[in-house]
Structure 1
Amino acid sequence: MTRWTQRTHKLMWYFLYNVLLLLAAPFILLVLLAKKRCRRGLPERLGLFGLFGLAGLFRRFGQNESDRPNGLNRQDRPDEPVIWVHAVSLGEVVAAVPLVRALHVRYPTYRLVVSTVTETGREAVERQLAGVAEHCYAPLDFPWVVTRVVQRLSPTLFLFVETELWPNLLRALSRHRVPSILVNGRLSSSSFRGYRLVKPFFRQVLETVALCLMQSDRDAQRIIALGADSARVLRTGNVKFDQPLPDKTSGATTLSRRTIAVDEQEELIVAGSTHPGEEEQLLDSYQRLQREIPSLVLLLAPRHIERAAEVESVVKARGLLAVRRSALGQSEGASFQPGLPRVVILDTRGELAGAYRHAVLSFVGGTLIPVGGHNLLEPARWGKPVFFGPHTDHCAEVAELLVRAGGGVQVRDGQELTAEMARWLRDRSGLRRKGEAARQVVLDNQGALERSLQLINTLLARKDERSMTDSTSRPRSVGGRSFHSSFRIHHSSFLRWPLLVLAFPYGLVMRARAALYERGWLPKRSLPCRVVSVGNLTVGGTGKTPIVILIVEWLLARGLRVGVLSRGYRRQTRTPFMLISDGRAILAGPAEAGDEPYLIARRCPGAVVAVGADRFKLGQWVLERFPIDCFLLDDGFQHLALYRDVNLLLVDASDPASLQALLPAGRLREPLSTAARATAILVTRADTAAGSNPVLEPIRKATGLDSRPILIRFKAEGFVDVLTGGIEENERVSGRTAFAFSGIGNPNSFQTLLADQGIKVLDELVFPDHHVYTSADLRQVRQRAEACRAELVVTTEKDAGKIVSLLNQKDRFLALRLGTEILEGRERLERLVLGVTDRNDVGVCA
Structure 2
Amino acid sequence: MQLLYNIAAIIVVLLIIPVFAVRAIRERGFVERIRQSLGFVPEEELAKVAKKNCIWVHAASVGEVVAASPLIKEFRKEFPKSPILVSVVTTSGYEMANRIIKDADSIIYFPLDLPLLAAHMVRMITPRVFMPVETELWPNFLRACRTMNIPVMMVNGRISDKSVKRYHHLHSLLDDMIGTVTKFAMQSPIDAEYIIRLGANPNLVVVTGNTKFDQTYTDVSTKEKQRLIDEMGIQNNDGIFLAGSTHRGEEEPVLQAFKEVRKEKPNAKLVIAPRELLRVREVIAICHSAGFKTARRTELLEHPSEGHDIVILDTIGELGQVYSVGDVIYVGGSLIAHGGHNILEPAAHGKAIIVGFNMFNFKETHALFTKRSAVITVQNSAELTQEVVRLFSDDEERHRMESETLAICSENKGAARRSAILLHEMLEQVEERRLASGYIKSTNKVENFQTYFYHLIHSRKSHGLLVQMFIAVLYIFSLIYGGLVNLKLAGYKFGVFSRKKLGCYVISLGNITVGGTGKTPTAQLLAREIRNLGYRVVILNRGYRAKWRGEVGVVSDGKTLHMTAAEAGDEAYMLAKHLPDVPVLIGPERYQTGTYAIEHFGAEVAILDDGYQHWQLDRDMDIVLIDAVNVFGNGYMLPRGTLREPISHIDRADICLLTKVDQASETSRQYIHTVIEEENEHALVVESVHRPRGFIELADWHANIASEGIDVNQMKGKRVMAVSAIGNPASFEQTLANLGAVVVESLRFPDHHDYTEQEMLDAANLAVQMDAEAVVITEKDAVKVPILTRDTIVGKLGHMVPIYVVSVEVTFRDDADRILGCIHKDLKEKLGK
Q: What TM-score do you get using the length of structure 1 for normalisation?
A: 0.49
Q: What TM-score do you get using the length of structure 2 for normalisation?
A: 0.49
| Structure number with higher helix proportion | 2
Structure index of larger Rg: 2
| Structure with larger RCO (C-alpha < 8 A, sep 6+) | 1
